[in-house]
Amino acid sequence: MNYYLDVLKKYADFSGRARRQEYWMFFLFQFAALIIVAILDAVLGTSPWLYLLYALGTLLPNLGVTIRRLHDTGKSGWWIFINLVPVVGFIWFIVLLATAGQPQPNQYGPDPKVLAA
């Protein structure tokens, strides 16, 4: 849960680096929250308004942590647009997000594993 809250505290921070664990834990909590909000939306009969409100409210933190995750692998945030390439782009993007970060400082900052220890 701390990973989710830490990402939300860095609401629109696109600089620096994010560890794999930070990204994937945020993704897990975000996915679970979206499912819960969708169910709540259906039960209340407000579909899709609560879902859209939550998704839009967390769009910038989601983009921020994704770009920081790309920075950890030494890639520019512009690599997010690899998703526009049909099928192969999405697969390559997942590979980038799952790849271990560079252990040494890079142009985006020091290794976040060292900072966390």
CB 50 within 8 A of CB 41: yes
pLDDT of residue 44: 94
CA 38 to chain centre: 20
pLDDT of residue 41: 94
CB 14 within 8 A of CB 77: yes
pLDDT tens per residue, range 49-89: 999 999 999 999 999 999 999 999 999 999 999 999 999 99
Domain count, the chain: 1
Mean pLDDT estimate for the chain: 94
**For 108, which DSSP code?**
T
Q: Where does the chain show beta strands of DSSP type E? A: none
Residue 112 exposed, middle or buried by CB count within 10 Å (0-12, 13-18, 19+): buried
CA atoms lying within 13 Å on the CB side of residue 2: 1
117 pLDDT band, cuts 50/70/90, is low
pTM of the model: 0.92
**For 10, which DSSP code?**
T
Residue 29 has pLDDT above 70, yes or no: yes
CB 96 within 8 A of CB 75: yes
1 pLDDT band, cuts 50/70/90, is confident
Contacts of 38 (CB under 8 A, 6+ apart): 47, 51
Residue 9 has pLDDT above 80, yes or no: yes
- Residue % of the chain over a pLDDT of 70: 98
Domain extent for 41 = 2-116
